Amino acid sequence: MALMNPSILTAGKFGIGHFACQGLTAGKAVTRLGDEWWLVYRDDSDGTYNPLMPVASADDGDATVTIPYQDLDAPVGELLTWRYVVRGVSPGGTIGEASAEAAVTVDENGVEYYVAGNDPTGLTLTLTTGGACILRWRYNPTDEPARPTGFKIYRLIAAVWTYADSVGYVPGVGRYTWTSGGFADTTALEYTVRSYRTVSAVDYEQLTGDSVTGTTDALGPAAPTSLTVTT
């Protein structure tokens, strides 16, 4: 008999003390009689998946499952990710292949933390006349955890990353450019660019991007010519 090879389409926390896996979908041409879904969770400390609860398969192969959890809050100041997969079980008890993972990440208060896109790569800083600089970077969406809303640009000022500007994400565009305003001569600059994703008016950022540095060389206006004095 063919075994189910399910896939998890979406997942997320809802309500108090529950986690939802939505759209658990079976493979095609599978005998339904006696089949059941098994939800399993991964213990993040060692990467081992352990059986959590059985769930009956829906007639059309789709199901929304509510998974109770306990102690889902992360340690203080940290994030915690719980990962889930689904396996099909035949009437004879043979377990099929695992689905793709569904995951939920929470902070120390049990509030879901949404990931942004991949980190920008290839960040460069080019100095221009007038004391400005140009930032350039690339974005590759391959295997991104989520599509970003855009990119936030930060400048390091007095050891604090200070927001400077943002650039929107454009699907299919791999290279981005941003130009600063002018700075005084010999101003030390350090910038970083982070991808971010806006969910319910809250911005979630990737915090692991590279930074670039430079020192401005701001030339003053050209010397006047043909100077005369009239008495």
pLDDT attached to residue 40: 64
Do residues 165 and 158 touch, judged by C-beta distance below 8 A? no
- Length of the chain equals 231
Q: Smallest Cα–Cα separation from 117: which of 96, 138, 148?
A: 148
Cα angle, residue 128 at apex, residues 125 and 132 outer, rounded to 5°? 80
pLDDT at position 163 is: 96
φ, ψ for residue 19, nearest 5 deg? -130, 135
What mean pLDDT is predicted for residues 41-67?
A: 60
Residue 112: closest CA among 51, 9, 200, 8: 200
Q: Tell me: the pLDDT tens digits for 70-87? A: 555 667 767 777 777 777
Which band of pLDDT confidence, cut at 50, 70 and 90, is reported for residue 143? confident
pLDDT confidence bin for 225, thresholds 50/70/90 = confident
Q: What is the DSSP letter of 94?
A: -
- In the chain, the domains with their CATH numbers are 7-106 (2.60.40.10), 121-215 (2.60.40.10)
Beta bridge partners of 10: 22
Secondary structure letter of residue 159 according to DSSP: T
Sequence-separated contacts (24+) of 135-140 with Cβ below 8 Å:
135/177, 135/178, 135/179, 135/180, 135/191, 135/193, 135/212, 136/175, 136/176, 136/177, 137/175, 137/176, 137/193, 138/174, 138/175, 138/176, 139/169, 139/173, 139/174, 139/176, 139/195, 140/174
Mean pLDDT of the chain: 74
Give 34's Cβ-side CA count (13 Å radius).
9
119-124 average pLDDT score: 96
The predicted model gives 206-228 an average pLDDT of 83
